[in-house]
Amino acid sequence: MSHFLSPVFAPGFFQSSLVQIAVVIGALAAVVSAVVGVFTVLRGQSFAGHAFGDIEATGGSGAYLVGIGPLLGFLIAAVIGAVAMEAIGIQRVRGRDLATGIVLGAALGLAALFLYLETTASSTTGATISVLFGSLFAVSSSTIPLVILLSAVAVTIIAVLFRPLLLSSISPELAAARGIPVRLIGALYLLSLAVAAALAAITIGAILSTALLIGPAATALRLTRSPGRAMLSAGLLGVAATWIGIVLAYDSFLWPPVKQGWPVSFFVVTLVLVFYLLAGLPAAVRARAARTDQRARATASGLAG
């Protein structure tokens, strides 16, 4: 069996504990990202998701400097970011793009400083790559309990709030008229987004975390019509992208030019994009057919006239 599959799975894939850790963490991060991400897209808050990426870069690099785990750094930064967004009002954050851009720029600047200090102290560039672009094969197994806990928290929040959150996301006005505490629901949702962003960051890096958060969810919206099914397919797509990414990254240890392995995040992000484009294909084909049809009819009527 393993011999039969060896063109796909490079030798030692199933025995590697690094791979096993990556498979578990990647899957959990993908599922949480999908469940939360469907609402992020529905609420038009992918901007907030991206902002978390910038803020987490600061948190993750700071964590390296003070010697705590990167996931904890991502999480602390994201939660602080969530509180700040909630205090200012998330819609206003989005509206004030100049101020927000400057603040997020400053956060990345701080990350640059932390990473510079870390790199000069330890004379490796490992931290930079890990924090910004992720290194899933380097995640310590001691992170797994925290990943499981965070996943449970985020998924529980979304599952419990599902109906009021769905209505507030579709129409805050309609939800408020029904007595749903729209602001509180929004704040709890933002907290779960912060957690999802931290999990995505540990998987594919802070800068790329939005891709896992938004990509599978946006793809699922193209494929499904009901919110429950959108979550399910986003979860499957996210897990597929992550696992295939892990396999390819493992295989790439045997690839040129350096025989050191390509980053998992490169494969995951590329697969997310490919899925998204493929999902848009049927609609694009239909639209093209409709246009051609229209043109043909216009030509025909032109000839008739």
Partner 1 sequence: MSRVPPAGGEAPILEVEGVCVRLGGREILRDVGFRVGAGEFTGLIGSNGAGKTTLFRVILGLQSATAGRVLIAGHPRSRRNPLIGYVPQKFLLDPDAPLRARDLVGLGLDAHRLGFPLPSAKRTALIEEMLDAVDARAFADARVGNLSGGEQQRVLIGHALISRPRLLLLDEPLANLDLASGHEIVALLSRISREQQIAVLISAHEMNPLLPVMDRIVYMAAGRAASGTTEEVVRAEVLSDLYGHPVEVLHVHGRVLVVAGAHGDPGVANGALGAIEIVS
Of 94 and 138, the one with the shorter C-beta distance to partner 1 is: 94
Find the shortest distance in angstroms from Cβ 30 to partner 1. Answer: 18
Give me the least distance between CB of 174 and partner 1, in Å please. 6
Least spacing, CB of residue 84 vs partner 1, in Å: 27
CB of 241 to partner 1, least distance (A): 19
Nearer to partner 1, 122 or 171 (CB): 171
Minimum distance of partner 1 from residue 34's CB (angstroms) = 13
- Taking the least distance from each CB to partner 1, the nearer of 37 and 245 is 37
Q: Which is nearer to partner 1, 219 or 252 (CB)?
A: 219
Cβ proximity to partner 1, 142 vs 226, nearer residue: 226
Q: Which of residues 225 and 259 has its CB atom nearest to partner 1 in the complex?
A: 225
Contact 55, 232 (CB under 8 A): no
Name the phi and psi angles at 173, rounded to 5.
-65, -45
CB of residue 277 to partner 1, shortest distance in Å: 15
DSSP the chain: -TTTTTTTS-TTTTT-HHHHHHHHHHHHHHHHHHHHHHHHHHTT-HHHHHHHHHHHHHHHHHHHHHT--HHHHHHHHHHHHHHHHHHH-HHHHHH-HHHHHHHHHHHHHHHHHHHHHHHHHH--SHHHHHHHH--GGG--GGGHHHHHHHHHHHHHHHHHHHHHHHHHHH-HHHHHHTT--HHHHHHHHHHHHHHHHHHHHHHH-TTTHHHHHHHHHHHHHHH-SSHHHHHHHHHHHHHHHHHHHHHHHHHGGGSTTTSS---HHHHHHHHHHHHHHHHHHHHHHHHHHHHHHHHHHHHHHHHH-
Shortest reach from residue 230's CB to partner 1, in Å: 4
Nearer to partner 1, 42 or 240 (CB): 42
The binding site for partner 1 (CB under 8 A) comprises 38, 42, 44, 159-164, 166-167, 170-171, 173-180, 220-222, 224-230
In whole angstroms, the minimum distance from the beta carbon of 297 to partner 1 comes to: 23
> Count of CB atoms within 10 A of residue 170's CB?
13
In the bound state with partner 1, the residue whose beta carbon lies nearer, of 261 and 280, is 280
Both structure tokens of 158: 């979304």
Residue 247: name the closest of 1, 12, 39, 4 by CA. 12
209 touches 226 (CB < 8 A): no
